[in-house]
Amino acid sequence: MRLLPFLKHNKDVLLYSVALAGLLLVLKWLQYKFLLQTNTTEIYIGIIALLFTIIGVWAGGKIVKPKTTIQIVKEEVTIVQSHFDADLAKSQQEHYGITKRELEILQLIAQGMSNDEIAKTLFISISSVKTLISRLFSKLNVERRTQAIQKAKETGLIA
């Protein structure tokens, strides 16, 4: 009910608003007509390209079936039981004069860690790791990591 008094006092505003809306509608219609007339060829080409793309994707999915091959591989697993003898490891550690820290380094080398990874794991510097590895190699009488791992496993230092 409050709207009626507002409209009575503001007829000019209402008429002006309706006239602007009508003018805007006419301008949009003319813009649409102009767009269709000047770009007719491009619009048709775009529609045809979209249609062919959709048909191509659909036909490609129907013609080319994904080939699924299932290959069954039979593997034989040989379980080698290794009994780690802690007493033997302790006696070998004493025999070679290997410290607890050097043994930790040896175990981490056996896990395939680099010097940097060992340093981060044990919270020590890389130079300390290099020094400990050098001492370990000297005590085991080896020159390479692989030799150290092999000798440690043969002697029972590590599992």
Q: Which of 63, 94, 110 is the last residue of a domain?
A: 63
90 in the same domain as 151: yes
The residue segments making up the domain with residue 93 are 86-155
71 within a domain of the structure (yes/no):
no
Give the count of domains, the chain: 2
pLDDT at 75: 64
pLDDT at residue 87 is higher than 60: yes
46 in the same domain as 107: no
pLDDT at residue 34 is higher than 70: yes
80 within a domain of the structure (yes/no):
no
Q: Which residues contact 102 (CB under 8 A, 6 or more apart)?
A: 132, 135, 136, 139
- CA 39 – CA 46 distance, rounded (Å): 11
Range of 4-8, 129-133, 150-154 with top mean pLDDT: 129-133
93 in the same domain as 38: no
pTM of the predicted protein model:
0.47
pLDDT at 116: 92
CATH number at residue 103: 1.10.10.10
75 within a domain of the structure (yes/no):
no
77 within a domain of the structure (yes/no):
no
11 within a domain of the structure (yes/no):
yes
**How large is the angle between the packed helices 115-122 and 126-140, nearest 10 degrees?**
110
54 in the same domain as 22: yes
